[in-house]
Amino acid sequence: MRRHILYLLTLAPVLGFAQSTPNFDCAHANLLPVALGNVPVLFASCTGVGITAAVPSPASSCVSYPVKSVWYKFVATHTEHWVMGSLPSPGPGVSIDAFSGSCGNLTSIGCAQAMTPSLALTGLTVGTTYYIRVMMSNYPDIGYYATVAVVSAPLNDDCPGAFQLQVNTTDHDVRPSVEGCTLGATQSQPGCTVAGASNDDVWYRVTATGSTLRFAAQAMSTELLTTEWFSGTCGSLTNMVCNNGLATGLTIGQDYYIRNYTTSTATTVAERTEVEVYAPASNDECANAIPLPVTGLNEATQPREMSTLLATSSVVPCGTNLADVWFTFEAPTTGVTAVSNMFQRYTLYSGTCGSLTCLTTEVSATDHSFENLTVGTSYFLKVGTAGPTSLRNDVIRLFAAAENDDCADAVNLPVQPSEIPSEWFLASTYHATQSLPGCFDAGDSDDDIWFSFTATDSVQMLHALSFLLEDQLRFELMSGTCGAMTTLLCSDLFQDRRRLSGLTTGTTYYIRMYFTYGDRDGFRVAITRGVRNDDCVGAVPLPFSNLQDWTTLPASNTMYATNGIAGCAAQRDVWYTFTAAHTSAGFLLAPGNSYTLELFSGSCDALTSIVCHSGTSRSWFTGLVPGTQYYFRVQYVNSFLLVPLLLDAPVNDEIEGAITLPTTATTFATEAHQGWTYGATSSYQEMCGPSMDPDDDVWFRFVATQATHTIYAVNTNLQFKKLR
């Protein structure tokens, strides 16, 4: 025990030191790197952990109330720098003070206070050290952190310093990755829409790889951005595009200039950005339409990424969009559904790219079903957007019409032998039609599809997980034959599963599934063995085992059990039964888990509660009557697979049954016997003093072969307590 205490005492100071903030005052200020331009080299993260809130000293012109302060310093490389700070929302305010001088003799040279403050410092002396104090108000010890960085004037403030950008040729994913910033930038020329908006413009350039390119700029905060394209050279520029990232009519190999700035005219407003230049999507026109697979019954969907951000408008006989991309598919059924995550405008064509025939024009939705197709014929699908605010990254999937639309075409689902599905059947309700009125709401079943299964037990479990829609999948369990059905159960799925009980082994049952509210979706479905021992009548007989058996016995859990009769272990309880061999027995869930257990005598229709063990990892049953049948139920709320182990009273529970241990003449211990005390009872009231009163002692004996022997007892299982 002393060894454990010494370990804790040794560890505590280390943890305490690790959790404190070292730069809590000027003397311990951390040195920050200074960026060459206005893109930070490093954002230093600071917390108020271990710091007591206090009124700032020296005094701050921003804050006069208690705050938690951390300190930094930097060496000026120019006469002007900016200190950038941020604090993820939600959180308290953050303020920044800047000082010249030395610790103990500081002079304030600026202060900024905001959620994301920036502090401009001018008139600095190159090579001089300056100090920064970051102050966090109402700052908890955990949960938030502030960041701070020091930057210089932007290197691309004017056209001659424009950053060269490479052209990204992805055709489906617009996620700008080049960091930019307008902080510290000055106006090069008036803005193209609002003259004063370009007071923080920065410059980029790109060499055209095609006639069309898109400049994508994403603000890291909430400011709106303006983009302008120019041809020509610095000092002789011609504005090509105003307030639009898309430039057309470019000449391959020629350099073009891009100016980016916030739309605000306030001189205090600046923005960190991510920018990149993209070529048009490869499938921007019909001639390069990308083939899409059509997902059929029990086929995994193959989503295809796409982006209308990289598209232009196509010249088509119908359905003109601001921007659109093209796909082609071969119809495997007379109906095919297109599904995306966001609203899109779908147009379907037959024919060839030079001679298209409009079939469906401009349907704006996340999904749309195309009917009356000719099986084996190829079609063109144009996906687009009507306005610039709808340009986005997205994915698209195609689904064939459901083949199990009627009872006669029901898909047979095998009953899996475990409680957790190892295989899933994939299906969708797209293009499905109503077979029968809904069992809750007559109109809900307008997209019903059918399954069947042959019961292997009186209880089975139905599992189903939808792709997109939540809590809208409904099912109806039916017996009989197609055309002569009897409804047994009409239900929603609770936590994506439902217990089916009262079944007859060997009988075929039908399940009709559909989505409510007129919606349609794909889902995966499975039938598994039910929780046989979900109630007393189904209690599983447990044989007496030993600890070595737990790796070979079947494991289970209570995920799919229902709540049982009132008592101490009623939540998702499962039942077991055993016949006592002795007056005591032990129980545990291997390899170890806390549970609640209730032991009963009697029969399932007349149970008498004997004992409740709550929040335990092992149970002892005492006072049993040999030859009597007992029932117990176990509750544990998690998804772990555990092995129920029932252990009889050890043969060496009393001194008369003491097990003989062999002795050895070597100085190294050799294993003589593996034992346990589960199910053991007390033989003597006291052993080795009052603190060692045993309630589960077992007995051993040995024959001495010399004057001295050493006995070792080693814990080899986490379920054992310390041996005495």
pLDDT single digits (tens) 604-639: 999 999 999 888 878 888 899 999 999 999 988 665
Q: Which pLDDT tens digit goes with each residue over 659-711? A: 888 877 665 556 666 777 776 777 776 666 666 667 778 888 888 888 887 77
Decide if 308 contacts 383 (C-beta within 8 A). Answer: yes
Return d(Cα 516, Cα 407) in angstroms, integer. 19
Strands (E), 292-448: 294-295, 304-307, 323-330, 336-352, 355-370, 378-385, 393-400, 411-412, 415-416, 425-428
Residues 6+ apart with CB under 8 A from 16: none
Residue-level pLDDT at 15: 25
* Averaged pLDDT of the chain: 86
Q: In sequence order, what are the beta bridge partners of 291?
A: 328
Burial class (CB in 10 A: 0-12, 13-18, 19+), 388: middle
Is there a shared CATH topology between the 159-278 domain and the 286-400 domain? yes
Residue-level pLDDT at 8: 28
Residue-level pLDDT at 11: 26
Decide if 453 contacts 413 (C-beta within 8 A). Answer: yes
Read off the amino acid at residue 509: Y
Biggest distance spanned by C-alpha atoms of the chain: 108
Residues 6+ apart with CB under 8 A from 513: 427, 429, 448, 449, 450, 451, 464, 473, 474, 475, 476, 523, 525
Task: State the DSSP code for 10.
Answer: H
Return d(Cα 541, Cα 10) in angstroms, integer. 50
Sign of CA dihedral 437, 439, 441, 447: negative
Q: Which residue has the tokens 């899933």?
A: 424
Q: Which CATH class is domain 286-400?
A: mainly beta
Q: Which pLDDT tens digit goes with each residue over 463-512? A: 999 988 877 899 999 999 999 999 999 998 866 888 898 899 999 999 99
Residue-level pLDDT at 594: 81
Task: Specify the CATH architecture of the domain 536-648.
Answer: Sandwich (2.60)
Residue-level pLDDT at 688: 66
The dotted CATH code for 407-529 is 2.60.120.380
Global pTM exceeds 0.75: no
The dotted CATH code for 18-151 is 2.60.120.380
* Residues in the chain where the model's pLDDT stays below 50: 1-20, 89-91, 142-143, 718-724
Strands (E), 482-567: 484-492, 497-500, 508-515, 522-529, 540-541
Task: Specify the CATH architecture of the domain 159-278.
Answer: Sandwich (2.60)
Torsion of CA 13, 17, 20, 24, to 10 degrees: 120
Number of residues that this document lists for the chain: 724
- Report in angstroms the alpha-carbon separations of 4 from 14, 17, 715: 16, 21, 17
Strands 393-400 and 294-295: parallel
Closest CA to 262 of 221, 225, 302: 225
How do the domains of the chain map onto residue ranges? 18-151, 159-278, 286-400, 407-529, 536-648, 651-724
HSE-CB of 499 using CA atoms within 13 angstroms: 17
Q: Which residue has the tokens 């439902």?
A: 498
Strands 272-278 and 304-307: unpaired
123 phi, psi to nearest 5 deg: 70, 25
> Cis (ω within 30 of 0) for the bond into 414?
no
